[in-house]
Structure formats: structure tokens, C-alpha cells
């Protein structure tokens, strides 16, 4: 009994210690959260707006999982909402307290094509207000250069340079590996161009997929070149993309000098020298004696000041709901489109007497059931008699287009990727692999569907028929939604479908979208349809009222690691290429999730992962999955 009593006291002591630890952690985080809120009072009267974009630009910021962040001991990569950045820049352009804009792109990791255009447009408007922009970076990639092109002076670190990659790359195909290991993919699909399942059925890209992807990449590449050339006419993009060896050799392989020679940069210097240059324009910081300091207002307090000045007192109300990321059936998000969460936001807004609803879609799709849940929630607003507009971001493909079908009008950008009207399902089975190792499956069935789908014993012809029939029926329903909403015949909808992805320009010509325009254009149209004049309505982003502590955890982790820049990794060109390769490796795990997840019928544009809307995103934003990803990560460790 004495031994048992000691064990009991030990267990109670461990329990009390853990409880105390978590209480201390909770109150410590609570205190930090209250003290970490940006203070509008630190906005400087005069000086520059300092935008140190040390992360990725996204449609909707994902919440940080505090437990995961603390256990991993890694600093979460920061996310910036494109609309927040654009609003901050536009406010600075009109504010007398801001004399210049300092754009530090040292830690910038990129974003989607539409988001880049949105922020670049705000920079162009800032410059048009006769206020200078000074950019600094070490390694300028495509996205960074698109933003920096609007600068009066582009500074590059002596150890840095510029590398224009252009859209494109390679995908991995697993058919031969699956055959070698006796794994059956069991793919069910509809659509000639529905290449989402090709990695599991082919050893190379099909001619149809190659044709579709080549057209999309050519359009996006042309758009990027046109935007950079318009902002920076002297930039010799042809030289740095067609004769890279000759271009570098002319500058003795000095990447910074080569950037200067090609008109992609104006000055070579360190960040301190860049800061001293800005101090000549806006003045030195009297409170900061660090080298290269200048009078500046940072992004967080500036955005807090801008948001604090918003007035919500008008009678008219336009709601904006965001569907960003992969569509699932659960409560996921923000940053991913959990159908349960989004439908709840929409249903709660039914009591708000909205005059119009704008649906912002930035999603490659996901589950059919999740997409349909969101569509039905949007229809409940349409049944209330209010106009519905859809604004497409980087992509609104597959399930992302499914949720757009209730719209009275669809807006897209030339760089938007949409369509991908097609569905598929993947169910792996391992009967051949198990047989190879002497493991057999046997039993008694009352029907061909008993115990199915059996991933270990194999799928029966009956379940094959059910799954293929389900996919074909879902595709027919998808075509019906497109036909009804766009005023097309079923035959024409099928011609535009088949899983093919379209850029915004082609989609507009084909009638899949109505007109070019950003989110503001969609809101203006909705207000006009609701007979609301400018200044007579408020724009309310559904779900924006939830408290956020993202900056808190990022600050805590950065402080603990001694890294103030966020990710702690190198920022030269070699590090940039390495991060791109790590993102590619992370997509391999995503492919494994897709194969092993058995998530039912999918309306998802897997091709979109290869396109610029996704390639710049850091590995941490790649879709997370269940045991297959965990198993692969354990092997990697």
C-alpha cells in the first residue's frame, strides 16, 4: 500500500505541475496579447511608411495554432492580407503625415498573381500622388520585382541580385512507383482535361494537360512582363531571361552589378545605406540611434490607425464573405474554406438585413459536399431577394467555380484561373502489395458492396460501378449548375468543362465570367443593383470581428529564437531557390494526402498548385493532412 500511495502522490504532483504550467502559459499569453495590440498612437507625424513584408501575401490570414507553434519551436511565417496592404498604401498616399514609402522586400516570399497586381496597383497610386518609393532587397524574384518596379529607386544588396524565373516547372508522376509497389490507385474521373489525377495514373503529362497548362502559363507570363515593362520601361527582361550566362558574364558574374546593368535595379548598397538615403528625404529618427534609421511609421500601427478611422454608421449594408483556400466540409479557417464555418457566417448574416452580398472566391476547390453546402447558404441570401456578386481572386476553379454559380454577376481579373469544371475520386487499395507478402483477404458478403470500399482486400466491380456512377452524376449536376447560371446549353457547358482551366481573359470571352474587375468593382456593382449611392452603405466583411493573436505568437517565437525577421533563413538567391524546392517537396506530401485521404468525390483544381497563384507560397501553407503526412514527416525526421 505504501508503494501505491507514493505512485499516487507522484501522479497527483505531475498533474498539479502540468496544470500550473498551462495556467502560467495561458496568463502569460493573455498578458502579451493585451500588450501586443498595435497602438495607433505611435504613428509618426512626418516620415515614411515602412513596409517590411517578411512573409507571404494571401487572400485571408490563417490563424496560428499556438500549441503547434510552441511544440515545433519554429517561427510561423507571417501572412499579409492583400486588401490590408492595399488599403494601408492608399491611405498613406492621401495622408499628409506620410512623405514616402520604404519597401523592404528582404524577407518577402511572394503571393498569387492577382494579389501581386492588387498591391502593385496601390503602389502605382502612391507614386502618382507625387510621393517617392524606395525599395530594398537581397534576392529579387518575380513577385518582389513586380512590386519594386513601381519604385523611384530599387536598391539591391551587394551580395544579392535578381532572378526572373517566369511561371512554370515540373510535376511529379507516381504511376510507375505505384505499379512497382503493387499499389492500385483506383481513379474515377470525368473530363478530358481533368489532370488532377494524372500523377497517379501516368508517368508524364498528357497532351491535353500540356496544352492547357502551356496556354495558361503563356498568358500569365505575358501579363507579368507587360506590368513590369509598363512600370519600368528600361528593364531588359528579354536579356535576363534568354541569355542568362551572357548577361552575368558581362558583369563578371556579379549578380548585383548585372541587375544594375539590365535596368532591374538603380543602386547597390546595404540596408544601412538604403536607410541613410531615405533619411535624407524624410529625416533621421530622433529616438533610434541604430545605423540606417529614419523617421518611419511601421505597418501594424499604421493599419490599426487606418482601421480605427473607419466609420460604420450608414443605413445600407453590403456583406462580403471570403472563400479562401481549399474547400472542406468542416469548420476550418480562416485561410481555408471550411464549409460549416462559412455557411454559419452566411446564415448569421441573414438577420443583418443586408442589401447585397459579395462572395470573394480565392479557392482551387475541394470536396463536392463542402462546395454544395456553401452554394446552398449563398442561395438562401438570393432567396431573400438581394443581389449576389462574385469576385474571383487568384483562382476560382472547380469547387471554387461551383460556389460561384448562384451569382447575378461574376467579376474576375485577367490573371484569375477559373473553370476546371470536372470531378474525380481516388481510392487506393493494397491487395496486390499484401498478397506479395503472403497476406490474403477472405470473408463472406451478402452483396457486392458488403465491406466496401475495402482498401486492403480490394474493390469489387460493384463498388467500381457505384463510384464511377457517382462521379459521372456529380459532373452532370455541375454542368447543370453552370448551364443554368450562365445561360448555356448543357452541350456548350460540357465543351467548356471537361476539367479545363481558363485564364480570366478567356473565361470572359467564353461567358464563364461577366467582366473584369476587383473586389471593389464587385462591391460597387452590388451597391448599384441595391440602389445604394456612394457613401450610403457600409461594407462588412463577415467573420472579421473574431479576435486574432497571430502577431503575438509570432513575436513570442521570434523573441525566443532571437530572430526578429521571422523565418531565420537566408535571403540570398541560393536560399530563394532552396525555399522554392522545399515548397515543391511539400507538394509531394500533398499528393500523398490526396491519394491516401479517400475524401470522396472532389471538385478540385490540382493543376493550380503548379501555377503562380500557388508556387510562391511557403511550404507551411501547403495543405495539411492526416496520417500519410505524419508518416512521411516521421520518415523525414
Beta-bridged to residue 482, according to DSSP, are none
Higher pLDDT: 530 or 607? It is: 530
pLDDT on residue 86: 97
pLDDT on residue 354: 94
d(CA 211, CA 201): 18
Note if 194 is an active site residue.
yes
d(CA 360, CA 382): 16
Q: What top-level class would CATH report for the domain 42-168+221-308?
A: alpha beta
**Which whole number is the average pLDDT over 557-581?**
53
pLDDT interval class at 582 (50, 70, 90): low
Note if 127 is an active site residue.
no
Strands 100-104 and 133-140: parallel
d(CA 390, CA 403): 9
Torsion sign, CA atoms 116, 119, 124, 130: negative
pLDDT on residue 584: 60
Short-list 168, 273, 244, 264, CA closest to 213: 168
Any idea what DSSP says for residue 351?
Answer: G
pLDDT interval class at 412 (50, 70, 90): very high
> In the predicted model, what is the mean pLDDT of the chain?
83
Most confident among 178-192, 413-427, 474-488, 616-630 (mean pLDDT): 474-488
Beta-bridged to residue 139, according to DSSP, are 161
Cβ distance 397 to 418 under 8 Å?
Answer: yes
pLDDT on residue 433: 84
Short-list 424, 365, 421, CA closest to 189: 424
* Residue 291 pLDDT > 70: yes
Q: Is the peptide bond before 263 cis (omega within 30 degrees of 0)?
A: no
Cβ distance 215 to 199 under 8 Å?
Answer: no
d(CA 538, CA 555): 33
Look at the block and give the residue holding cell 470536396: 367
pLDDT on residue 80: 95
Q: What percent of the chain has pLDDT over 90?
A: 54
Residues in the chain: 637
pLDDT on residue 425: 85
DSSP codes of every residue in 90-129:
HHHHH-TT--EEEEE-TT--EE-HHHHHHHHHHHHHHHHT
Q: Which one is catalytic: 62, 135, 151, 194? A: 194
Q: Record the cell numbers describing residue 577, joined without a space.
A: 531557390
**Which whole number is the average pLDDT over 451-480?**
88
- The domain locations on the chain are 42-168+221-308
Q: What is the pLDDT of residues 310-369, one digit of tens each?
A: 655 677 899 999 999 999 999 988 999 999 999 999 999 998 889 999 999 999 999 999
Beta-bridged to residue 102, according to DSSP, are 50, 134
* Residue 610 pLDDT > 70: no
Min mean pLDDT across 113-122, 154-163, 172-181, 372-381 is at 172-181
Q: What is the pLDDT of residues 61-107, one digit of tens each?
A: 988 766 665 565 566 788 999 999 999 999 999 999 999 999 999 99
Q: Which one is catalytic: 336, 363, 371, 398? A: 398
* Residue 189 pLDDT > 50: yes
**Which whole number is the average pLDDT over 518-522?**
96
First to last CA, the chain: 43
pLDDT on residue 429: 85
pLDDT on residue 550: 53
Amino acid at each position: 500500500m505504501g508503494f501505491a500511495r507514493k505512485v499516487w502522490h507522484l501522479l497527483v504532483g505531475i498533474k498539479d505541475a502540468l496544470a500550473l504550467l498551462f495556467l502560467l502559459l495561458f496568463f502569460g499569453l493573455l498578458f502579451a496579447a493585451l500588450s501586443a495590440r498595435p497602438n495607433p498612437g505611435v504613428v509618426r507625424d512626418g516620415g515614411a511608411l515602412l513596409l517590411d513584408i517578411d512573409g507571404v501575401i494571401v487572400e485571408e490570414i490563417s490563424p496560428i495554432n499556438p500549441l503547434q507553434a510552441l511544440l515545433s519551436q519554429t517561427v510561423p511565417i507571417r501572412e499579409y492580407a492583400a486588401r490590408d496592404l492595399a488599403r494601408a498604401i492608399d491611405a498613406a498616399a492621401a495622408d499628409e503625415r506620410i512623405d514616402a514609402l520604404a519597401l523592404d522586400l528582404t524577407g518577402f516570399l511572394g503571393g498569387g498573381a492577382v494579389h501581386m497586381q492588387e498591391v502593385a496597383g496601390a503602389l502605382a497610386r502612391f507614386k502618382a500622388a507625387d510621393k517617392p518609393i524606395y525599395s530594398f532587397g537581397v534576392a529579387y524574384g518575380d513577385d518582389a520585382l513586380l512590386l519594386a518596379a513601381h519604385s523611384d529607386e530599387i536598391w539591391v544588396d551587394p551580395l544579392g541580385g535578381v532572378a526572373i524565373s517566369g511561371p512554370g516547372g515540373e510535376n511529379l508522376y507516381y504511376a510507375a512507383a505505384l505499379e512497382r509497389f503493387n499499389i492500385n490507385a483506383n481513379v474515377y474521373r470525368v473530363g478530358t482535361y481533368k489532370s488532377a489525377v494524372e500523377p497517379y495514373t501516368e508517368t508524364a503529362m498528357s497532351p491535353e494537360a500540356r496544352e492547357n497548362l502551356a496556354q495558361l502559363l503563356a498568358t500569365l507570363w505575358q501579363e507579368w512582363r507587360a506590368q513590369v515593362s509598363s512600370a519600368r520601361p528600361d528593364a531588359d527582361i528579354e536579356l535576363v531571361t534568354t541569355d542568362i550566362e551572357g548577361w552575368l558574364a558581362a558583369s563578371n558574374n556579379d549578380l548585383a552589378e548585372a541587375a544594375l546593368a539590365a535596368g532591374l535595379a538603380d543602386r547597390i548598397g546595404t540596408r544601412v545605406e538604403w536607410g541613410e538615403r531615405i533619411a535624407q528625404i524624410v529625416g533621421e529618427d530622433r529616438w533610434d540611434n541604430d545605423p540606417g534609421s529614419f523617421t518611419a511609421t511601421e505597418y501594424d500601427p499604421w493599419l490599426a490607425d487606418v482601421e480605427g478611422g473607419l466609420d460604420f454608421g450608414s443605413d445600407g449594408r453590403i456583406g462580403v464573405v471570403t472563400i479562401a483556400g481549399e474547400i472542406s466540409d468542416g469548420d476550418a479557417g480562416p485561410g481555408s474554406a471550411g464549409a460549416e464555418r462559412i455557411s454559419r457566417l452566411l446564415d448569421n448574416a441573414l438577420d443583418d438585413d443586408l442589401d447585397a452580398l459579395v462572395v470573394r472566391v480565392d479557392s482551387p476547390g475541394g470536396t463536392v459536399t463542402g462546395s454544395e453546402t456553401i452554394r446552398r447558404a449563398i442561395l438562401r441570401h438570393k432567396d431573400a431577394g438581394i443581389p449576389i456578386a462574385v469576385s474571383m481572386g487568384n483562382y476560382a476553379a472547380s469547387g471554387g467555380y461551383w460556389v460561384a454559380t448562384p451569382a447575378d454577376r461574376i467579376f474576375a481579373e485577367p490573371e484569375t484561373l477559373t473553370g476546371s469544371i470536372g470531378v474525380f475520386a481516388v481510392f487506393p487499395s493494397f491487395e496486390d502489395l499484401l498478397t506479395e507478402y503472403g497476406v490474403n483477404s477472405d470473408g463472406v458478403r451478402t452483396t457486392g458492396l458488403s465491406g466496401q470500399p475495402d482498401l486492403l482486400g480490394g474493390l469489387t466491380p460493384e463498388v467500381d460501378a457505384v463510384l464511377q456512377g457517382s462521379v459521372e452524376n456529380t459532373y452532370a449536376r455541375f454542368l447543370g449548375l453552370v448551364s443554368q447560371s450562365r445561360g448555356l446549353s448543357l452541350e456548350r457547358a460540357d465543351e467548356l468543362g471537361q476539367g479545363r482551366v481558363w485564364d480570366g481573359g478567356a473565361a470572359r470571352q467564353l461567358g464563364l465570367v461577366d467582366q473584369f474587375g476587383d473586389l471593389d468593382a464587385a462591391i460597387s456593382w452590388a451597391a448599384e443593383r441595391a440602389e445604394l449611392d456612394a457613401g450610403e452603405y457600409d461594407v462588412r466583411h463577415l467573420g472579421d470581428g473574431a479576435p486574432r493573436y497571430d502577431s503575438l505568437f509570432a513575436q513570442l517565437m521570434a523573441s525566443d529564437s532571437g530572430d526578429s525577421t521571422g523565418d531565420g533563413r537566408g535571403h540570398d538567391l541560393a536560399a530563394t531557390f532552396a525555399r522554392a524546392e522545399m515548397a515543391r517537396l511539400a507538394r509531394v506530401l500533398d499528393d500523398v494526402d490526396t491519394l491516401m485521404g479517400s475524401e470522396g468525390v472532389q471538385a478540385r483544381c490540382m493543376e493550380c498548385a503548379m501555377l503562380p497563384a500557388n508556387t510562391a507560397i511557403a511550404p507551411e501553407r501547403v495543405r495539411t493532412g492526416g496520417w500519410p503526412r505524419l508518416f512521411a514527416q516521421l520518415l523525414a525526421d
